[in-house]
Structure 1
Amino acid sequence: MSTMQHAWLGSYEVSSTTCTGLSFARHSHDECVIGVNVIGEEKVWLDRREFEAGPGSITLYNPGQIQGGGAAHGAPWQFVSLYVTADQLAADLGLAHVEFDRSLCVQPVLAQQLAAAVAGVLSADALVRGLNEDALVALLGEVVAVSGVRLPGSTAIGRGLVRQAQELLAAHLHQSLPLDQLGTELGLSKFHLLRAFQKETGLSPRQWAMQLRTRRAKGLLRTGVAASEVAHDLGFADQSHLNRHFRAAYGMTPGSYQRVLKR
């Protein structure tokens, strides 16, 4: 018996599977495949060789490689998988070409972070999904690096470009500005934009936009605008999302804040 969650994130396909004794016939993919073993031992057959991948293992397959394997009959197995074309992964990371040099990387902390990010992008909450999509890009850079691919140097893009990114985010607060669209506007890969923005502000672009959205919500609430209207005007999914982020930032709900102001 197995359960699977599956989603498309623009150019990425992700899945999370919990099962017992699942096995796969020998096959190949057109995309790069990145797998993370969370629970259980996987026996892998890859291009005429065999190896085992336990919990905390990240398995990496280049397009066209013949692979197969799985968990022993009755054995519990939980894993997440990510599929992306080599061209797309290279573009997102600012590389001319991507080809994994290693098929198995035992990286428990990175594996856990990657699995958590995939769980986040499979969430029913749009804001949680978005934040984890950004995290996934940064983590893919780390995965590619430990696989033996050399990432471009962290050339400083300068505060000017980060400010431009902030201006674009502020101008689109009523809607979510995807990382790839922001990168295209600034002529940067998603990975480089994310890394530079986090270095300058301590936040991802999406996190920075959310704190600005929440701050502006506070200003509108102070003038007496209804919370439902504030949520709509500033691009929150609904009033409950405004409530959650406002409480996290200021320790009270929008309603409580407006009641305090009336005292």
Structure 2
Amino acid sequence: MSTLQHAWLGNYEVSSTHCTGLTFARHSHDECVIGVNLIGEEKVWLDRREFEAGPGSITLYNPGQIQGGGAAHGAPWHFVSLYATAEQLAADLGLSHVEFDHACCFQPDLAQRLAAAIKGALSADAWLRERNEEALVLLLGEVVGVSGVRLAGSPKTSKSLISRAQELLASQLHQSPPLDQLGDELGLSKFHLLRAFQKETGLSPRQWAMQLRTCRAKGLLRSGVSASDVAHDLGFANQSHLNRHFRAAYGITPGRYQRVLKR
């Protein structure tokens, strides 16, 4: 018996599986497959060799590799997976190509962070999915690094380049541009865009856009615009979405903020 959550996040396919005694026949994938084992021991057969991957292990499969295995009969197993074409993964990380040298890496801290980002990518909240896409890109840089792939150094980025990114985000606050579009506009891979933006601002592009959106919401509320209209005008999913982010930023709900101003 198994429970599967599955979603597409941009060009990544992600899933979370809870099961008991699940096994897979020998098979291959066209994509790179990255898995994180959270509970249970996985016995893996890969290209005529066998190994075990327990909690804290990250498994890495190149396209076309024959793999199989699973958990022992009756044994609980919880794992998350990410699928991406080698070409897409290379483009996102600013590499000419990607090929994993190690099939299994025991990296408990990285495994937990990667699993948390994949689970976040399964959220029904669009903003959380976008935030976790950013987190995944940065974490995938770490994953390919521990797998034996050498990442190129970050290209030099000027403050004017990051300012251009901020201008693009500010001009499309109601619907922030996808990372691919933002990176293409600036001539950077997703990975190098995120690293440069965070280094300059301390925030990811999505976080920066949300703080600006929330700041503008405060100004509109101060001028008497209703919370529901503010949410609509600034591209929040709904009023409760505005409430959550406004309260996180200012410690007060939009409604209460307007009532306080009227006193």
With the shorter chain as reference, the TM-score category is over 0.9
Correspondence list, 1:92-241, <5 A: 92-241=92-241
Verify the 8 A CA contact 2:14 2:80 in the aligned structure 1: yes
TM-score calculated relative to the size of structure 1: 0.99
Provide the TM-score with structure 2 as the length reference.
Answer: 0.99
What percentage of residue pairs aligned between the two structures are identical?
Answer: 83
Q: 1:245 maps to which residue?
A: 245
Residue in structure 1 matched with residue 23 of structure 2 by the alignment: 23
Deviation of 1:160 after TM superposition, in Å, equals: 1.1
CA distance in 2: counterparts of 1:198 and 1:241, whole angstroms = 24
The one-letter code sitting in structure 2 at the alignment partner of 1:96 is S
Separation in structure 1 between the aligned mates of residue 131 and residue 206 of structure 2, nearest angstrom: 6
Deviant stretches of 4+, over 6 Å: none
The answer to whether the Cα contact below 8 Å between 2:41 and 2:55 also exists between their aligned partners in 1 is yes
Work out the CA distance in 2 between the residues paired with 1:158 and 1:207: 20
Alignment-derived partner of residue 259 in structure 2: 259
Gaps of 5+ in 2: none
User: Could you tell me how far apart the structure 1 residues matched to 2:181 and 2:145 are?
Assistant: 24
Give the superposed CA RMSD: 0.6
2:47 touches 2:65 (CA, 8 Å); kept in 1? yes
Structure 1 gaps, min length 5: none
Alignment-mate amino acid for residue 81 of structure 2 = S
Q: What is the CA deviation profile of residues 183-220 of structure 1, one whole-angstrom value per residue up to 9, with x for unaligned ones?
A: 01111100000010011111110000000000000000
Render the CA deviation track for 1:221-245: whole Å, top value 9, x for unaligned. 0000000110011110110000000
Q: Which residue of 1 aligns with 2:58?
A: 58
1:43/1:51 contact within 8 Å kept: yes
Corresponding position of 2:70 = 70
Aligned residues: 263
